[in-house]
Amino acid sequence: MSGPGTAGNGSLIDRRYVIGLLLRLCVNFAGGVGLLFVILYFALSRPLPGDYAGVYLALRNLSPFLRPILAISVLVYALLACGSTSALCVYILHKVAGPLYRMELVLDQYRSGGATRTVSFRNGDQLQALAPAFNQWIGTLRRDRHRWLATMADAERHCLQDEATCRAEMEAALRRVAEDMERYR
């Protein structure tokens, strides 16, 4: 079996998709940090009095409130950044999760004995190499199945002749089919 390196992994996830994800994350994080800056700006921008005592008192009085102000600001930042990043992750990663889910459905369908249709993914979906690889496998199975059935059908044609010839041809066909099936390992 060839290793993953030979599977054309470069095409599994498009470089533009990765760059797009990184850019969106960058904008998202920048937005979060910008929001934190705005919150702290409004929290700390009250004008200071002009005299020494006033400045001293204002800054000393600010100290007890500083920790809660920072805590709430960071909490708001964390909630908003986490929320938007989560939404972004779900939105962007569905281009990977979608094909995986689709393939799982097809594999379940195949195992349950249902009709297996050709797999194709949506435009922009990642992991595109999965679909042709699966279709290639199913294609090989179908070609082999047709060949085995054709071999058996050929043998059945001899049944128009005498019984012994028919049986001999059928047994020969079965040997060819069994030999062909031996290639599966």
Partner 1 sequence: MRQPGLKPPPSRIRYVSPRFQGPAVLAFTTIIVAGGAIFWKLVDAEFQRVFLHAAIRGHYTFGSAFDIVRDLLVSHLAGLFIGVLLAGSALVLFLVAATRHGIGKAVASLRASADRDLSTPTGACPIGEFERFGEKIDAARSDTLVSVRKLRSEAASLAAGGISPEEFRLRWDELKQRIRGIAP
Task: Give the residue with the Cβ less far from partner 1, 104 or 161.
Answer: 104
Question: DSSP for 53-81?
Answer: HHHHHHHHHHHHHHHHHHHHHHHHHHHHH
Pick out residues in 158-177 that bind partner 1 (CB under 8 A): 163, 167, 170-172, 174-175, 177
Instruction: Work out how close the CB of 161 gets to partner 1 at its nearest, in angstroms, rounded to a whole number.
Output: 15
Q: Does 140 bind partner 1 (CB under 8 A)?
A: yes
Half-sphere exposure of 125 (CA within 13 A, CB side): 19
Phi, psi of 61 (to 5 degrees): -70, -20
Question: By CB under 8 A, what part of segment 97-126 binds partner 1?
Answer: 97-98, 100-105, 107-116, 126
Q: Cβ of residue 144: shortest distance to partner 1, in angstroms?
A: 8
Report if residue 4 touches partner 1, rule: CB under 8 A.
yes
Beta-carbon-side half-sphere exposure of residue 43 (alpha carbons within 13 Å)? 18
How many chain residues bind partner 1 (CB under 8 A)?
A: 106
Residue from the set 16, 123, 160, 185 that interacts with partner 1 by CB under 8 A: 185
CB within 8 Å of 88: residues ≥ 6 apart: 24, 25, 28
Letters for 7-46 (x = contact with partner 1 by CB under 8 A, - = none) are: xxxx-xx----x--xx--xx--xx-xx--xx--xx--xxx
Question: CB within 8 A of 84, min separation 6: which ones?
Answer: 28, 31, 32
Shortest distance (Å) from residue 5 CB to partner 1: 7
Helices (H), 112-162: 130-157
Q: Which of 74, 120, 154, 157 binds partner 1 (CB under 8 A)?
A: 74
Alpha carbons 155 and 97: distance in angstroms, whole number: 48
Residue closer to partner 1 by CB (options 123, 182) is 182
Regarding 157 and contact with partner 1 (CB under 8 A), the answer is no
